[in-house]
Amino acid sequence: MRPLGIVDIAHYFLVSTPAFFSELVLAKQNRLGILTNSEIEDGLILLPHLRRAVTISNVLDLQIIERDQMAATLDALRNGVILTNDRGTILHANRSAEDLLRNESAIGSNGGKLIAKSRLANNELQKAIKLAAQDETKIGRTGTSIRLTDTSPRPLFAHVLPMTGGDVRTNLQPTAVAAIFIDASSNEKHGAVTLATAFKFTPAETRVANSLLAGLTLADTANDLGIAKNTVKTHVKNIFMKTGVGRQSEFMRLAAQATPPVQIGSSHET
C-alpha cells in the first residue's frame, strides 16, 4: 500500500455470517504516521455501534425483500385481495383488486377508503371491517361473505377475514386488520379457456361456454354471438356431453373448480 501513500491499516470485523460479511478498514497516510494505541481503542469503542447499525440495515433490507415477495404472492392470485385498517382505508391491493377498483362498478375507493356502491352492501362491508378490528370472535376466523351486487347475472361477493397476526400482516402491512377477498370479474373467461382446453371444445363451443359462465340465457347468448338460438342449443348439448354435466349451474360450478387460483403470466404485460 506504500505506493498509495498508506503506512498503516486497521481491520475491524463487523458482521460475519454464512450469507453476509462486513468489515471496517481504516488507513493512515505516511504524513500522519502509524495508528496509535489510542486510535485503535477508539475504533474498538465504535465497533458495537457500527455493528448495530449494520445489523439494523441488514434486517431492513430483508424486510423489504420479504414485503416484496409477499406482495408478489398476492399479485399472483386471481381474486382481488385488499388489506384495510380499522377505518376501511386501503393499505394494499393486489393487481386483481386494482383492476376491480378501476373497472368494477360494484366496488370503489372514496378518499382512499374501500366502499361498495350498493348502500346495503357498503353498510355490511364497513361493519365487517370494524368487527375484524374490534372483536374478531364475532366475525369468526372463517370471516363473512357479503354480496356486493344487488342484481347481476353473475353476483360479486366479498369475503372479509380478520387479520390478528400472520406473515401477511407482519411482513406487508402491520396495521392491517382485515383482508377482503373479492371475486375476479374475469373468472368466467379463465374458466371457459381452462375447460375448452381440458375437454377439447371447438372455438364456437368456447364462445358459448364463455357466455354461459357469464350467466347469459340461451336467447341472450344467441343475440350476443349473432347466431340462431337452435345453434346455441346444439353447442350447449355438445358442451354438456363433453363435460358430463346436465345443467348450466353444474357447468358454472365445474368451471369454478377448474379455474386455477393463481394467474399464469400477468395481464399487465404488453
Quick: pLDDT tens for 222-258. Answer: 999 999 999 999 999 999 999 998 888 788 778 766 6
Query: Quick one: pLDDT at residue 137?
Result: 61
Query: Quick one: pLDDT at residue 268?
Result: 44
Residue 154: exposed, middle, or buried by beta-carbon count in 10 A (0-12, 13-18, 19+)?
middle
Sign of the alpha-carbon dihedral angle for 71, 73, 77, 81 = negative
**β-sheet with 178-182: strand ranges across:** 90-93, 80-84, 178-182, 157-162, 144-147
Rounded Cα distance between 164 and 171, Å, is: 13
How far from chain centre, in Å, is Cα 122? 22
Cell numbers representing residue 124 in the block: 355490511
Per DSSP, 160 falls in state E
Per DSSP, 19 falls in state T
* Whether this model's pTM surpasses 0.75: no
Beta bridge partners of 113: 89, 110
Q: Parse the chain into domains and list their residue ranges.
A: 2-71, 78-182, 187-258
187-258, which class in CATH? mainly alpha
Give residue 216's pLDDT band: very low, low, confident or very high (50, 70, 90).
Answer: confident
Backbone φ and ψ for 199, nearest 5 degrees, come out as -110, 10
* Domain topology for 78-182: Beta-Lactamase (3.30.450)
Query: Quick one: pLDDT at residue 142?
Result: 46
Rounded Cα distance between 211 and 16, Å, is: 61
Backbone φ and ψ for 60, nearest 5 degrees, come out as -65, -40
Quick: pLDDT tens for 53-68. Answer: 776 666 556 556 566 7
Beta bridge partners of 114: 109
Q: Give the count of beta carbons closer than 10 Å to the beta carbon of residue 122.
A: 19
